[in-house]
């Protein structure tokens, strides 16, 4: 399936000491009339689906990714964002808008990716199972299945039909991160899979707050 995708990169005036959840909070409050920006209905209930607006901090730049309807909203509001009130006020030095049509679908070719932000693949259900496994081989097999599951969840949320069996090849290292004030085991590294994932799309938990951000590796 082809989606319109907008990625806005904000270069701010100094180094940031906050995470992407603060950016999400600022933008969601500033433009509260757009539920997709903060994943809430007007009655304060959550939108439990794949986030169509995702916030990330990469190399000290703020990235806001919009997909489909989310892309349309970002184009409407982008001119009104000249600063971010986070732990303090950060002023935007430069704003670059990338817009493209992206194919999101299983592929005949194996694609190579890396996580540029930590991937939160483990949750309260699969974390005990992961910890109970004795060997890294067993843990890796579970991680591979979880990654495929995350990709299928993304596909379902975007209305994409996956009619082939997917298998992931991974090379990850665990990393301790803080998510919603709780320390959790995340992973950094690379993976290969027969699926076209656009750059800066997120997989796993905390996608709207910058976790699990994917970027394609172009193999020589």
Residue 46: pLDDT above 70? no
Q: Kindly state the percentage of the chain with pLDDT values over 70.
A: 95
pLDDT digit string, tens, across residues 82-96: 999 998 999 999 999
Average of per-residue pLDDT values in the chain: 92
Q: For residue 98, what are the β-bridge partners?
A: 7
| Residue 168 CB-density burial (10 A; 0-12 exposed, 13-18 middle, 19+ buried) | buried
Distance, in Å, from the CA atom of 167 to the CA atom of 165, rounded to the nearest integer, reads 7
Determine the average pLDDT of the residues in 97-101.
Answer: 96
pLDDT digits (tens, 9 = 90+) for 187-216: 999 999 999 999 999 999 999 999 999 999
- Percentage with pLDDT > 90 across the chain: 87
Tell me: domain 105-216, CATH 3.20.20.70, correct?
no
Q: How many CB atoms lie within 10 A of CB 187?
A: 23
Residue where the block lists tokens 């992931």: 168
- Is 44's pLDDT higher than 50? no
Within this chain, domains 2-102 and 105-216 share the same CATH topology? yes
Q: How far apart are CA 21 and CA 43, in angstroms?
A: 21
Per-residue pLDDT tens for 125-163? 999 999 999 999 999 999 999 999 999 999 999 999 999
CB 103 within 8 A of CB 94: no
What's the pLDDT score for residue 203? Answer: 97
Rounded CA-CA distance 71/8 in Å is 10
Give the chain's length. Answer: 220
Q: Please, which pLDDT band fits residue 219 given cuts at 50, 70 and 90? A: confident
Give the C-alpha separation, 213 to 208, whole Å.
Answer: 10
pLDDT of residue 43: 45
Q: What architecture is the 2-102 domain classified under in CATH?
A: 2-Layer Sandwich (3.30)
Reported as a pLDDT band with limits 50, 70 and 90, residue 40 is low
- Break the chain into its structural domains and give their ranges: 2-102, 105-216
Considering only CA atoms, which of 217, 204, 201 is closest in space to residue 54?
Answer: 201
Task: Identify the burial level of 5 via C-beta atoms within 10 angstroms of its C-beta, where 0-12 means exposed, 13-18 middle and 19 or more buried.
Answer: buried
CA–CA gap between residue 53 and residue 47 (Å, rounded): 12
Report field, pTM of the whole predicted structure over 0.85: yes
């Amino acid at each position: 399936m082809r989606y319109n995708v907008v990625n806005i990169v904000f270069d701010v005036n100094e180094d940031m000491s906050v995470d992407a959840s603060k950016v999400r909070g600022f933008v969601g409050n500033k433009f509260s009339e757009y539920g997709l920006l903060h994943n809430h209905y007007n009655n304060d209930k959550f939108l439990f689906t794949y986030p169509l607006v995702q916030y990330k901090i990469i190399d000290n730049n703020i990235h806001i990714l919009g997909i489909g309807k989310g892309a349309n909203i970002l184009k409407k509001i982008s001119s009104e964002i000249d600063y971010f009130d986070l732990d303090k006020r950060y002023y935007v030095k430069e704003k670059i808008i990338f817009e493209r049509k992206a194919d999101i679908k299983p592929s005949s070719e194996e694609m190579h990716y890396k996580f540029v932000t930590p991937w939160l693949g483990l949750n309260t259900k699969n974390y005990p199972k992961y910890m109970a496994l004795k060997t890294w081989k067993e843990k890796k097999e579970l991680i591979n299945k979880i990654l495929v599951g995350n990709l299928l969840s993304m596909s379902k949320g975007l209305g994409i039909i996956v009619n082939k069996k997917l298998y992931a090849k991974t090379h990850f290292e665990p990393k301790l991160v803080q998510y919603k004030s709780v320390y959790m085991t995340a992973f950094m590294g690379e993976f290969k899979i027969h699926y076209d994932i656009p750059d800066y799309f997120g997989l796993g938990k905390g996608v709207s707050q910058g976790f699990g951000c994917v970027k394609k590796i172009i193999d020589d």
